[in-house]
Amino acid sequence: MNFACDTPEGNADDETAAQDAIRAQVIEQTKCVVVKVGTRVLTTNEGKLDLARVDLLAAQLARIADTGRQVIMVSSGAVGAGVAKLGLPTRPVGIARLQAVAAIGQADLIKAYENSLLRHGYQAAQVLLTKSDLRRRSGYLHVRNAINGIHEFGAIAVVNENDSVAVAELKTTFGDNDRLAAHVAGLFNDALLILLTDVHGLYDGHPDSDGSKKIELVRNLDGNVMSMAEDKSSAVSKGGMEGKLRASRLANSHGHPTIIGPGRQDDVLDQIFAGGRVGTLFIPPKRTLRGRRRWIGSAAVVQGSLHLDDGAARAICNQGRSLLAVGIERVEGTFSHGDVVSLIDRNEQEIARGLVNYRSHEISLIAGRSNTEIESILGHRPYENVIHRNNLVLRILAEEPAE
């Protein structure tokens, strides 16, 4: 999506009018809506699934779907549903017990959405994902095609992380449902990501502090904005706001606007699509990731790294060049042709990621050599470059620094 981000100089009324115009433009251009609702919104004080809240959200999702837009719900709440189903006094601790309770509660969670959506003429379709489902380009496309198929059948996809099998130690988890929602939004074009939480948006101070004001619109989600997510007086996260900002930054890198809004406001989605000044709107920069480069920058697993000299790093970052063998100083990891690798500068900073044209042991042999020497070393030279510019993504456009 493209937005008229520049606000003409003038008074506060001019700024408000400009922000309202941008919100209206966002809604007008949105063809796909990804709504993420968190555990704090979907559960009661006893930690059980709040069926009344599910009903309210389902009704609003249906009204959005009635406009012809594709609607996807990324929903927490499986553990809460499991707690209620098992009659547990509190939420359990320990990975194995949480995974078991989530598996037990998942059926009731999807049933709650199914019952609520059916009253408005829509089926609910359960989609359970792990990070590994998106690591390969083929899996990435299969997930997108499946969710598109759900929409074509007139149903609404209810997505959740597959908690019963996702394990952080194996790096198969997304980390949280905010990031999962951003990855799901990244599968589609002209998408709006809505993150519903227990606060009304991003504030310039702690939400509970006197004098703190909600920020209506963020044009550049930079380090200064990220720093607002932490209460420096207590070092306590503001309702998980840092994770939501990271998810918003990821969605913005794909060209998708994001709204962080109040999940406990009964008509929150209706108000957003009526153009109301609900929550905080984050609009994307002009440079965004598309197609295969979107997958490279955010979803693909990194199989190794190439350490570059200063000339190669400058050529990639400043001149839009491909990576040649002559600029490579060192190879780390074992990888094959077509894998995604990190590009590291002499300051040990990751500057880009890309799809390699050669295997790791081949690159080790030709590192630092000119193109004219490659064939004599390897016996063949199928590619002029190690990574073509079209298969390379600068990290300033990608999700976050490498793990």
> Is residue 269 assigned to a domain?
yes
Residue 288 has pLDDT above 70, yes or no: no
Q: Is 177 annotated as a binding residue?
A: yes
**Same domain? 340 vs 271:** no
- Using pLDDT thresholds of 50, 70 and 90, give the confidence band for residue 2: low
Q: Is 75 annotated as a binding residue?
A: no
Confidence at residue 185, expressed as pLDDT on a 0 to 100 scale: 92
Confidence at residue 396, expressed as pLDDT on a 0 to 100 scale: 57
Confidence at residue 289, expressed as pLDDT on a 0 to 100 scale: 60
Q: Is 36 annotated as a binding residue?
A: yes
d(CA 234, CA 241): 15
**Same domain? 322 vs 184:** no
Q: Is 198 annotated as a binding residue?
A: yes
Confidence at residue 208, expressed as pLDDT on a 0 to 100 scale: 75
Instruction: Confirm if 281 and 3 have CB atoms less than 8 A apart.
Output: no
Q: Is 14 annotated as a binding residue?
A: no
Mean pLDDT of 166-170: 46
Residue 276 has pLDDT above 50, yes or no: yes
DSSP string, 140-151: HHHHHHHHHHHH
**Same domain? 257 vs 339:** no
**Same domain? 332 vs 273:** no
d(CA 244, CA 226): 10
> Is residue 400 assigned to a domain?
no
Domain, as residue range, for 369:
300-394
d(CA 264, CA 280): 15
CATH number at residue 343: 2.30.130.10
Closest CA to 297 of 382, 368, 400: 400
**Same domain? 160 vs 47:** yes
d(CA 343, CA 356): 11
d(CA 403, CA 380): 35
**Same domain? 363 vs 217:** no
Percentage of the chain exceeding pLDDT 90: 46
Q: Is 16 annotated as a binding residue?
A: no
> Is residue 365 assigned to a domain?
yes
Confidence at residue 118, expressed as pLDDT on a 0 to 100 scale: 97
pLDDT in tens, 46-95: 778 899 999 999 999 999 999 999 999 999 888 888 888 898 888 888 88
**Same domain? 83 vs 167:** yes
Provide the number of structural domains found in the chain. 2
Residue 123 has pLDDT above 90, yes or no: yes
- Using pLDDT thresholds of 50, 70 and 90, give the confidence band for residue 176: confident
Domain boundary pick from 257, 276, 292: 292
Closest CA to 124 of 147, 99, 104: 147
- Kindly state the helix (H) or strand (E) to which residue 305 belongs, with its residue range: strand 302-308
Average pLDDT of the chain?
84
Residue 240 has pLDDT above 50, yes or no: yes
Confidence at residue 324, expressed as pLDDT on a 0 to 100 scale: 95
Q: What angle do CA 375, 380, 384 make, to 5 degrees?
A: 70
CATH number at residue 123: 3.40.1160.10
Confidence at residue 305, expressed as pLDDT on a 0 to 100 scale: 95
Domain boundary pick from 268, 292, 316: 292
> Is residue 330 assigned to a domain?
yes
- Using pLDDT thresholds of 50, 70 and 90, give the confidence band for residue 327: very high
d(CA 163, CA 177): 11
Instruction: Tell me whether residue 145 is exposed, middle or buried, using C-beta atoms within 10 angstroms of its C-beta: 0 to 12, 13 to 18, 19 or more.
Output: exposed
Report pTM.
0.74
pLDDT in tens, 355-364: 899 999 999 9
- Using pLDDT thresholds of 50, 70 and 90, give the confidence band for residue 1: low
**Same domain? 370 vs 251:** no
**Same domain? 249 vs 312:** no
Most confident among 63-67, 203-207, 241-245 (mean pLDDT): 63-67
> Is residue 59 assigned to a domain?
yes
Confidence at residue 301, expressed as pLDDT on a 0 to 100 scale: 77
Q: What are phi and psi of 315, to 5 degrees?
A: -60, -40
**Same domain? 207 vs 307:** no
Mean pLDDT of 112-136: 89
Percentage of the chain exceeding pLDDT 70: 86
